[in-house]
Chains A and B, each alone.
Chain A
């Protein structure tokens, strides 16, 4: 029997692992990994029955008052509805598998236990976020995840690039986070609650025209909350941090920057979906941002040469897909793609990690012909790529098809076209990556590749299985059960499955794979020829649309200049004031020192000297001969007697 409060253990266990690892990691050494994996697995075991109960139609919620704001209670609690159950299912499974993999990948690292401490903290925050029932708790775990992301991107902080990347990620997401914070505060002022369930009720009332709400405020709240998504899910124009985040260890890229944390932004939109539905004109903005991101990132991924960067841009592109789906009211489709993407993209990153582990290079131009040397990695990587490219019957096909259907069905043919083109590019760059990495001849003979240990390949196979089957619940074979399961929460347009959309989707995937095959296996000079004939496009893609340069020139440099001016002010005025105070104090204290030395000390010394002088006279009585003392006693007695007698 499922007792719903056991769900509280799910975030708590990884947190305990974090505390233990951070405090006792020095003595735990390699056992740190097993502690993290164990707590994560137990969390998984606890969470799955609860998820299963929710899949059966149950609904759990509980809350307690955290603090009172002028008699308005601020309640924290958990909410297990279809959305959180789905996410919980994905996060616990993928998180545990990635940690098992990381135990192998990170083996021998000097900061091994610290790595697992951070990962456990991250897991704890992510699980809290998933089950939280209000914006405030959501935001807190959201920020802890940001911190973990920062710590783990900069895990190899000896490298300047890693340190800079972690800073960049932290600051860039912070812009979105501020928006999110202001957003839910605005929402609070508009509807007086931060609780998701209450918000849904209020919004449903508003949708039915029962309650008059300040739509201006709500629109601002929705837009600001969406800023959080833009930052965390690396949407245009704040996507620049995610590719750089690849400086972190590969399991981190898989866990945080592919499967879970970046998906939290999409999850935020899903959570706030009723709000987005009520506010007019916000969904087109969401759609536009998502579509631009999907297309732009896929276009950049075409020309990147670093295996992890290709995957990073692919992640951005797929997140764009999810956001687009949300913008097209496709709550079910977006969430579905989030789940399938988590499985196959985690698998892709872990596969890339396995390749890096085996070859110690990241540049795909130096790889080639790895299929024979790393067969397990290669096969699982190809499975994931097929899923990502949208080849039926793998999971990615079903979820991508749902999004394309949402675009087609809602009549947004421009969006549909762009997404189709993006799908084509996705298939192309993924198979460009595969053909350059695993096929052909080895290009760098100094690379001696070897297959990774079982600790790393077993999670690959588990995720590969997931990538194949996880799409089934949303496929026509199960009558789109998943979409209905998610979407029954909100009013939501349903589209008839279209064979035209499906055909387009399969066609672009196959076309992309075929074109990649032709260019990178047969006609190798075509690639350079194409790059030469469209130099401006090539440069735009290769230089990532010059986003970094743009931000550097128009944001970072002015801010640096401002910083220098402020520093100058600080140095001359504020430091000057402090130093002046210091100098004056020094002068005053010198006067005090003189008084102390010559007056106070003088009195004390005089007392001492005087005592010493009188003492030198009176001490002569002390002869050391005992009889003198007795004589003195006798004479004194006599003297007293004489004195007494004289008185009487």
Chain B
């Protein structure tokens, strides 16, 4: 069985996180932003599992942590989508830059 060394996994998750961050910063569609946030969360999950494997801690610690993060990400997505839906009903748009009600 091929064992991936830790730096490889970290580089992978770094890329994944960078994609997510880029998406969250530049996409105008709010759904897209939500998806990008999911990407960043998953990058973090990978990191958790990788570190739990390569450190002296019990391997289940990181996995359970990751499961919690997934569950919370699901609820966050549910709330986020509900907000988007409510926003769409009021403003007839899902473009982030068109929604600037909280501007100074």
Q: Which of B21, B25, B33, B102 makes the CB contact (< 8 A) with A624?
A: B102
Q: Does A627 touch B at the CB level, under 8 Å?
A: yes
Chain A residues within an 8 Å CB radius of B10: none
Chain A residues within an 8 Å CB radius of B101: 624
B103 and A624 contacting across the interface, CB-CB below 8 Å: yes
Which chain B residues in 86-104 approach chain A with CB under 8 Å?
Answer: 96-97, 99-104
Expressed in whole angstroms, the minimum distance between the Cβ of A587 and any Cβ of chain B is 49
How many interface residues does chain A have, given as a range?
A: 10 to 19
B26 and A624 contacting across the interface, CB-CB below 8 Å: no
How many interface residues does chain B have, given as a range?
A: 10 to 19
B33 and A623 contacting across the interface, CB-CB below 8 Å: no
A627 and B97 contacting across the interface, CB-CB below 8 Å: yes
Which chain B residues in 1-58 approach chain A with CB under 8 Å?
Answer: 21, 24-26, 33
Chain A residues within an 8 Å CB radius of B102: 622, 624
B104 and A625 contacting across the interface, CB-CB below 8 Å: no
Smallest Cβ-Cβ distance to B103: which chain A residue: A624
Instruction: Decide: A622 near B25, CB < 8 A? Known: A627-B96, A627-B97.
Output: no
A625 and B97 contacting across the interface, CB-CB below 8 Å: yes
Instruction: Decide: A627 near B33, CB < 8 A? Known: A634-B21, A634-B25.
Output: yes
Expressed in whole angstroms, the minimum distance between the Cβ of A28 and any Cβ of chain B is 67
A630 and B100 contacting across the interface, CB-CB below 8 Å: no
Instruction: Decide: A626 near B21, CB < 8 A? Known: A619-B104, A620-B104.
Output: no
Q: Does A631 touch B at the CB level, under 8 Å?
A: yes
Complex Cα–Cα for A622 and B101 (A): 10
Complex Cα–Cα for A348 and B11 (A): 126
Smallest Cβ-Cβ distance to A619: which chain B residue: B104
Expressed in whole angstroms, the minimum distance between the Cβ of B102 and any Cβ of chain A is 5
Smallest Cβ-Cβ distance to A629: which chain B residue: B102
Expressed in whole angstroms, the minimum distance between the Cβ of A309 and any Cβ of chain B is 93
Complex Cα–Cα for A624 and B95 (A): 13
Chain B residues within an 8 Å CB radius of A634: 21, 25
Complex Cα–Cα for A625 and B25 (A): 11
Expressed in whole angstroms, the minimum distance between the Cβ of B34 and any Cβ of chain A is 11
Expressed in whole angstroms, the minimum distance between the Cβ of A296 and any Cβ of chain B is 101
Chain A residues within an 8 Å CB radius of B21: 634
Chain B residues within an 8 Å CB radius of A623: 100, 103-104
Which chain B residues in 71-91 approach chain A with CB under 8 Å?
Answer: none
Complex Cα–Cα for A634 and B24 (A): 11
Chain B residues within an 8 Å CB radius of A630: 24-25
Chain B residues within an 8 Å CB radius of A619: 104
Expressed in whole angstroms, the minimum distance between the Cβ of B52 and any Cβ of chain A is 23
Expressed in whole angstroms, the minimum distance between the Cβ of B68 and any Cβ of chain A is 22
Expressed in whole angstroms, the minimum distance between the Cβ of B104 and any Cβ of chain A is 4
B interface residues, Cβ below 8 angstroms from A: 21, 24-26, 33, 96-97, 99-104
A interface residues, Cβ below 8 angstroms from B: 619-620, 622-627, 630-631, 634
Closest 5 CB pairs of A and B: A624-B100, A624-B103, A619-B104, A622-B104, A624-B102
